[in-house]
Structure formats: structure tokens, C-alpha cells
Structure 1
Amino acid sequence: YYMKNKHKSAVPYFEKALQIGRYDTEVLLLKGRCHKRLGETKKANNCWQDILEVDPKNDEARRELNL
């Protein structure tokens, strides 16, 4: 769904994947991008912050949070 720009449909799949690997930064990045494209800024920011807990130097998460 993500590749077809169906971001709203993709989010539940990312949430399911995160149940298996809570801090999978790649999944969090994709989920954050979906929320951002859906205008869900707070949810996107939560994803970026979760990424930084695991990978404090993650360039995309830092950029999205203006750090």
C-alpha cells in the first residue's frame, strides 16, 4: 500500500510489524512518512522520536524534528 501511495491503508500493516519489532527503525520511518503525508504531524513526530531512542544519529528523524 505504501508504494501505491495508499498511506492510510499502509499504517495498520506498519503497526502490525511494530508489534513484532517495536523499534524497527525502517518500519518506523515508513510509518512516520505515511502519517506525515496524511497530515498527522503528531503521530509522525512520535515515530521520529521513537527512531531517535534507538538511533540518535538517524538523519531523517533528526531532519523531520528539526534537530
Structure 2
Amino acid sequence: MSGTLANPLGRLEAGGDVLGALLRYKDTALEETGDHREVTSLVHRRLQRGTAADRHSAVLWPKPA
């Protein structure tokens, strides 16, 4: 999630920006189904902590201090 993703127009953007735009796009639908709080929380946690692959890579190949 720390890298880049293609947005719906095919342009590369920061992963967090693309996910934020997706959440804003689906905001009404998430509210209607009662899932907004949970999905938003999960996305924010993933952006803060990274993926399992990010954490695994950090252990195997730590960046020099």
C-alpha cells in the first residue's frame, strides 16, 4: 500500500490516495449498508500498518539505519 496504484483513469497515484478516492466514491453505498465505519477503519489500519508482505519484507530485508 505504500507504492503506487493505477486509478480508474489508468494514472499512477499513491496507493493511499487511490483507496481514499474509492472510499469517497462508495461512501453513500457503505452508509446505506451500515458498513462505512468498519470498512473505513480497516482501510485506515491497513494504510498505517502496511500489508503482511510489507511487514515480512521489513523483517527479512531491514533498511539500514
TM-score (norm 2): 0.31
CA radius of gyration, larger in: 2
Greater fraction helix: 1
Greater fraction strand: 2
TM-score (norm 1): 0.31
